[in-house]
Amino acid sequence: MRKLLKVALAAGALSAGAAHAGATSTTFPVTATVQATCSATASPLGFGTYTPGVGPLTANTPISVQCTQGTAFTVALNRGSTTGGTIGQRLMANGTNTLQYNLYTVAGLTTVFGDGTTGSTVGGTGAGVGVANAQTVTVYGQLPDNAVNQAAVPSATPYSDLITVSITY
């Protein structure tokens, strides 16, 4: 009788363990925040060789803007690095000598491309289409054939200026 009792207890212990076996589950969130961002690249704007009295020179250059999808942006240009230059009258320098020029938002040269301050027009606006896809804002330039430029000192080295492009988003 003892042998039977031991076997019965062992079988009962096995079935009790099986009754308590089970499974459970849970969930956890996965999150990420997309940061709005923009970047820009610009190419040089070269007027070529200016011959006083022959006529104005015009040129244009693209600014490529890449922003995250739907990110609104504006493009602004400063007055340049030449002392005395303004948004209304930018200057290129060669030593102490200068040439007048300006930058515009349209090919008709009717709206000066500004820095976005009061009374100054920014030249490009838009919304990003993804950082892998550039949008182009064109800058139009003119070197006028006016009395000031006609009195410019000739030089073998070019007159130059450095414009800073600012993207606000």
What is the pLDDT, as a whole number, of residue 17? 53
pLDDT 10s digits, 52-88: 999 999 999 999 999 999 999 999 999 999 999 999 9
What is the pLDDT, as a whole number, of residue 5? 42
What is the pLDDT, as a whole number, of residue 121? 74
What is the pLDDT, as a whole number, of residue 125? 85
- As a whole number, mean pLDDT of residues 100-108 equals 96
Q: Are 149 and 47 in contact (CB under 8 A)?
A: no
Residue 77 DSSP SS3? strand
Contacts of 93 (CB under 8 A, 6+ apart): 82, 83, 99, 159, 160, 161
Q: What is the pTM of this model?
A: 0.82
Question: Distance between CA 68 and CA 39 in Å, rounded?
Answer: 10
Q: Are 94 and 158 in contact (CB under 8 A)?
A: yes
Q: Are 85 and 93 in contact (CB under 8 A)?
A: no
